[in-house]
A and B are shown apart, each in its own frame.
Chain A
Amino acid sequence: MIFAKRLFLLLLLIFVFTSCGTNEEPVSKKNKEKLENETVAFGDALVEGSIGDASNLIPILATDSASHSVAGLIYNGLLKYDKNLNLVGDLAEKWEVSEDKKVITFYLKKGVKWQDGKPFTSEDVKYTYEIIVDDKTPTAYDADFRLIEKVETPDNYTVKVYYKMAYAPALASWTVSILPAHLLKGKPITKSPLQRKPIGTGPYKFLEWKSQDHITLVANEDYFEGKPHIERYIYRVIPDTSSMFLELLNQNIDMMGLFPLQYTKQTENTRFKKYYKKYKYLANSYTYIGYNLKNSLFADKRVRQALTYATPKDDIIKGVLFGLGVKATGPYKPGTIWYNPNVKKYDYNLEKAKELLKEVGWSDVDGDGILEKSGKKFKITILTNQGNSSRSRIAEIVQQSWEKIGIKVEIRILEWATFISEYIDKRNFQVVILGWSIPQEPDLYDVWHSSNCRDKKLNFICYQNKEVDNLIEKARVEFDVEKRKSYYHKIQEILAEDQPYTFLYVPDALIALHKRFRNVSPAPAGLMYNFIDWYVPKAEQRYHFTK
């Protein structure tokens, strides 16, 4: 009897669970005029869901994105990226680059205060540089700063940075969070309480951090760009993405990143649409198939071109991303100035692929469907990492397609640490499916320069091209944006011809955000770039705080 009841309840649950999310209702049209006339209000909180906790709120000591996204609201750099990803002043009012490009002079904003009330000065900038290059500081981000010869502070609001050589990415490196010298100087940074209770110059002040649960920040009333309208920012850690989605449906979190399936299917219901709005813009990353160029199979570029011709990028975007992304043709994001739209394209064409392979000498002599050359069969193992279902699905799609041109494909999926240390670092692979993030600074040195084809460097496919090296080096010392752009455009043309990677796609960043937030306008820089201007009309505020 008890069992029958339980079974009934279970079936009921399943019914309710599966029947949800199918009803569709047109998006409710609120009175537009009313919205436009709303007064900008202070108050309320934004609760953002994330799968991982921050590790350290002194940003130079952290390498995880969670720490950086929280710390980004607490600290400022000398420079920052605006909505269109141009470098603009943040703590710096303006800056000058000397004629020989080796000296950058920053003129700092006056009247900026640390969150403990002390004034921000050039000493803080100098200290930040010194602590980054200090050998005792466990930071991973010292490379750019080791190229500095010295930093001078002629007065409280001027910083002169002398470089050993002209170095264009230097400017972007000054987006690094500036740390408070008066709180850190003379003390070991790894023991500093600021790791857990940071004090910055930024729009939000630290309030509370419960490990693996949440971090709460509160609006900084004295922020030099004005007090943010949203009173609190709560960063909630929910390690399971399904639970996070349920919390979203329950309005317990206001913002989270969605998966393509959630974006296209699970959010197309009345309940979701009533409270949330979905945003979509190109993410700062791309996914690719990389070929080990030290392997004789891929020595001839025609083989790589053939494999790219045989890779159904459209199907991959449709099948893996539900259409939420665009084809990638190189290492830059479409729509940015660095992206060259006029490179050689490889539309899906199996015939062309077969022709190219034939030219190189691969043909099916024994009629078993697999190509041969000098008695060797064309067999490939594709490696990718565990825990990324998109990559394993790509591998399956590619396997099917490549087998159509006579290549036998095996797929191996490995745990991340094993994958990197045993296969990537040891160059023990043929083909990998991986992704790179696309940083705002366009320098390609780490991934594409020949000198980085050694040890545990990032050019692990060993792409070596003198012309590309030369262009990368030139672009690194060129501060003129137009000239730099021309170098990077040329590199993309060469990469498109050489196909060391089959560039697959740039996915869309998919964000769900509660409708009560106003002044939200996605731009190339994403959604949060103008967070201090977001507000919630008084009548719609959900959270109220007593001081």
Chain B
Amino acid sequence: MLNYIIKRLLGMIPMLIGITMISFIVINLAPGDPVQFLSQMNPKVSETARAKFIKMYELDKPIHIRYFNWLKKVAKLDFGESFALDRKPVLEKIKERLPLTIYLNVTAMVLIFIIALPLGVLSAYYKDTLFDRGVTIFVFIGFAIPTFWLALLCMYYFGVVLGWLPISGLKSYNFDSLTMFGKIIDVIKHTIMPVGISVFGGLAGLSRFARNSMLEVLNEEYVEAARSRGLPENKILFKHALRNALLPIITILGLSIPGLIGGSVIFESIFGLPGMGQLFYQSVMMRDYPTIMGILVIGAVLTLIGNLVADVVYALVDPRIRYGKKG
């Protein structure tokens, strides 16, 4: 097993280099450059400024030199400085935004699991009943309704009409004067709507997956056997069937890890939450190459690690799978 993990980890290095190289080239091929946003179409900007910025950002050097310079820095875990006017180190920028995105996504994901799994399992058990159809329609409404529309609707109703929840942002103006408990409540109140809408939209995928997985298991012989032995239904369902039905879900969990830092542009923009989604979108629009690359690298690393974790955990829980051993 250890050998397998080491082999996989070593295999990640060329893959990462490949990913970053392609990303670097593609980003640089996109029309426009960061200097454009500082100097273009602004009569006040001087003639010399453009050349100065190009030199400063090393855009005058050929792309392969820039890539190698960048790679050398990254090897030392230095992602460089942002091209945006704040000129902050990329890592600092990411660190500022990451906790909020992780908090929102982890909360949403946990809630999705807590709600979607039982929904899926029960849907499978009560297959083709009114309950099953109702759940199907409900989760697909969540899936199909445009997020921004639902968000605005909720903001208007719960924020403006009822006045129950704050509309946007993460903290109230008087946040600093609140007690510790008050601060926690304040942040929770601010995130109920974004998390709630995110959960509503995310239920469909997992609940349908759980349902199908459960249906397969319910048709297995050992379930039939358990039934014929007279075991109670809830024991069959939640002890024997669920355990096996959950196995494929580990893969989904592993694959969800990169999503935890990705954030969502739409959400974060509508609710005014300064997370990674917003940062990534703004960086792309401004052609802020170092920040884009920084986020991409972290995303790629997490995707690769997520895959590995999923494979390893899968092997650990399912005795039928063993890596590194033949036969």
Q: Chain A nearest CB: distance from B13 CB in Å?
A: 33
B46's partner among A45, A146, A240 (CB-CB below 8 A) is A146
**For the complex, what is the distance from the CA of A138 to the CA of B110, rounded to whole Å?**
46
* Given A16-B157, A140-B45, A239-B278, A246 and B152 contact (CB-CB distance below 8 Å): yes
Interface residues of B in 140-189 (CB under 8 A from A): 141, 148, 152-157, 159-161, 163, 166-171, 173, 177
Residues in chain A near residue B37, CB distance under 8 A: 63, 417
Residues in chain B near residue A436, CB distance under 8 A: 43
Interface residues of B in 34-83 (CB under 8 A from A): 36-50, 52-53, 56
Q: Chain B nearest CB: distance from A434 CB in Å?
A: 8
Interface residues of A in 444-498 (CB under 8 A from B): 446-447, 456, 458
Q: Chain B nearest CB: distance from A424 CB in Å?
A: 8
Interface residues of A in 217-248 (CB under 8 A from B): 234, 236-240, 242-244, 246-247
Q: Chain B nearest CB: distance from A426 CB in Å?
A: 10
Question: A421 and B46: CB pair below 8 A?
Answer: no
Question: A140 and B49: CB pair below 8 A?
Answer: yes
**For the complex, what is the distance from the CA of A456 to the CA of B43, rounded to whole Å?**
11
**For the complex, what is the distance from the CA of A55 to the CA of B46, rounded to whole Å?**
20
Residues in chain B near residue A142, CB distance under 8 A: 46, 48-49
B52's partner among A138, A195, A238, A242 (CB-CB below 8 A) is A138
**For the complex, what is the distance from the CA of A214 to the CA of B169, rounded to whole Å?**
9
Question: B85 and A55: CB pair below 8 A?
Answer: yes
Residues in chain A near residue B138, CB distance under 8 A: 2-3, 6
**For the complex, what is the distance from the CA of A422 to the CA of B159, rounded to whole Å?**
44
Question: A14 and B153: CB pair below 8 A?
Answer: yes
Q: Chain B nearest CB: distance from A277 CB in Å?
A: 19
Question: B157 and A213: CB pair below 8 A?
Answer: no
Q: Chain B nearest CB: distance from A13 CB in Å?
A: 5
Question: A3 and B156: CB pair below 8 A?
Answer: no
Question: A61 and B85: CB pair below 8 A?
Answer: yes
**For the complex, what is the distance from the CA of A383 to the CA of B183, rounded to whole Å?**
50
Question: A246 and B159: CB pair below 8 A?
Answer: yes
Q: Which of B246-254, B267-275, B290-298 contacts A (4 or more CB under 8 A)?
A: B267-275
Question: A55 and B44: CB pair below 8 A?
Answer: no
A421's partner among B32, B45, B169 (CB-CB below 8 A) is B32
Range for the number of chain A residues in contact with chain B? 35 or more
Residues in chain B near residue A239, CB distance under 8 A: 268-269, 272, 278
Residue A64 lies at the interface, judged by CB distance under 8 Å to chain B: yes
Residues in chain A near residue B84, CB distance under 8 A: 55
Residue A1 lies at the interface, judged by CB distance under 8 Å to chain B: yes
A250's partner among B30, B163, B270 (CB-CB below 8 A) is B163
Interface string of A1-41 (1 = CB under 8 A from B): 11100100000011011001000000000000000000000
Most chain A beta-carbon contacts within 10 A, residue among B53, B155, B166, B170: B155
Q: Chain B nearest CB: distance from A80 CB in Å?
A: 16
Residue B128 lies at the interface, judged by CB distance under 8 Å to chain A: no
Question: B287 and A238: CB pair below 8 A?
Answer: no
Question: A458 and B41: CB pair below 8 A?
Answer: yes
Interface string of A62-106 (1 = CB under 8 A from B): 111001000000000000000000000000000000000000000
Question: A458 and B134: CB pair below 8 A?
Answer: no
* Given A243-B272, A246-B160, A543-B173, A212 and B49 contact (CB-CB distance below 8 Å): no
Q: Chain B nearest CB: distance from A363 CB in Å?
A: 38
Most chain A beta-carbon contacts within 10 A, residue among B36, B135, B287: B36
**For the complex, what is the distance from the CA of A1 to the CA of B133, rounded to whole Å?**
11
* Given A56-B87, A213-B170, A240 and B270 contact (CB-CB distance below 8 Å): yes
Residues in chain A near residue B272, CB distance under 8 A: 213, 236-240, 243
Residues in chain B near residue A1, CB distance under 8 A: 134
Residues in chain A near residue B155, CB distance under 8 A: 243, 246
**For the complex, what is the distance from the CA of A204 to the CA of B155, rounded to whole Å?**
33
Residue B137 lies at the interface, judged by CB distance under 8 Å to chain A: yes
Question: B134 and A63: CB pair below 8 A?
Answer: no
* Given A190-B87, A240-B272, A458-B43, A63 and B153 contact (CB-CB distance below 8 Å): no
**For the complex, what is the distance from the CA of A25 to the CA of B134, rounded to whole Å?**
44
**For the complex, what is the distance from the CA of A86 to the CA of B48, rounded to whole Å?**
30
Residue A349 lies at the interface, judged by CB distance under 8 Å to chain B: no
Residues in chain B near residue A212, CB distance under 8 A: 97, 274, 278
Question: A140 and B42: CB pair below 8 A?
Answer: yes
Residue B311 lies at the interface, judged by CB distance under 8 Å to chain A: no
Residue A368 lies at the interface, judged by CB distance under 8 Å to chain B: no
* Given A140-B44, A143-B46, A6 and B32 contact (CB-CB distance below 8 Å): no
**For the complex, what is the distance from the CA of A458 to the CA of B157, rounded to whole Å?**
47
Closest to A444 in B: B43
Question: B85 and A213: CB pair below 8 A?
Answer: no
Question: A418 and B170: CB pair below 8 A?
Answer: no
Closest to A443 in B: B43
A17's partner among B38, B85, B156, B167 (CB-CB below 8 A) is B156
Residue A262 lies at the interface, judged by CB distance under 8 Å to chain B: no
Residue B31 lies at the interface, judged by CB distance under 8 Å to chain A: yes
Residues in chain B near residue A190, CB distance under 8 A: 87
Question: B134 and A143: CB pair below 8 A?
Answer: no
Interface string of B83-102 (1 = CB under 8 A from A): 01111000000001100000
**For the complex, what is the distance from the CA of A67 to the CA of B169, rounded to whole Å?**
20
Residues in chain A near residue B135, CB distance under 8 A: 2
Interface residues of B in 252-298 (CB under 8 A from A): 268-272, 274, 278, 285, 287
Question: A62 and B173: CB pair below 8 A?
Answer: no
Residues in chain A near residue B152, CB distance under 8 A: 242-243, 246
Q: Chain A nearest CB: distance from B132 CB in Å?
A: 12
Residues in chain B near residue A543, CB distance under 8 A: 173
Residues in chain A near residue B134, CB distance under 8 A: 1-3
Question: B156 and A141: CB pair below 8 A?
Answer: no
Question: B45 and A243: CB pair below 8 A?
Answer: no
Residue A249 lies at the interface, judged by CB distance under 8 Å to chain B: yes
Residue A388 lies at the interface, judged by CB distance under 8 Å to chain B: no
Interface residues of B in 166-224 (CB under 8 A from A): 166-171, 173, 177
Residues in chain A near residue B85, CB distance under 8 A: 55-56, 61-64, 67
Question: B42 and A6: CB pair below 8 A?
Answer: no
Residue A532 lies at the interface, judged by CB distance under 8 Å to chain B: no
B36's partner among A16, A20, A420, A458 (CB-CB below 8 A) is A420
Q: Chain A nearest CB: distance from B28 CB in Å?
A: 13
Residue A546 lies at the interface, judged by CB distance under 8 Å to chain B: yes
**For the complex, what is the distance from the CA of A524 to the CA of B117, rounded to whole Å?**
62
| 8 A–B contacts, CB within 8 A, in A order | A2-B135, A13-B156, A55-B85, A67-B85, A141-B49, A212-B274, A237-B274, A243-B271
8 closest A-B pairs by beta carbon, nearest first, are A417-B32, A143-B46, A212-B274, A55-B85, A140-B45, A446-B43, A418-B31, A140-B49
* Interface residues of A, Cβ cutoff 8 Å to B: 1-3, 6, 13-14, 16-17, 20, 45, 47, 55-56, 61-64, 67, 135, 138-144, 146, 190, 195-196, 210-214, 234, 236-240, 242-244, 246-247, 249-250, 252, 415-418, 420-422, 424, 436, 439, 446-447, 456, 458, 543, 546
6 extra interface residue pairs, beta carbon distance < 8 Å, beyond A211-B97, A243-B167: A13-B153, A63-B38, A238-B169, A240-B168, A243-B155, A439-B44
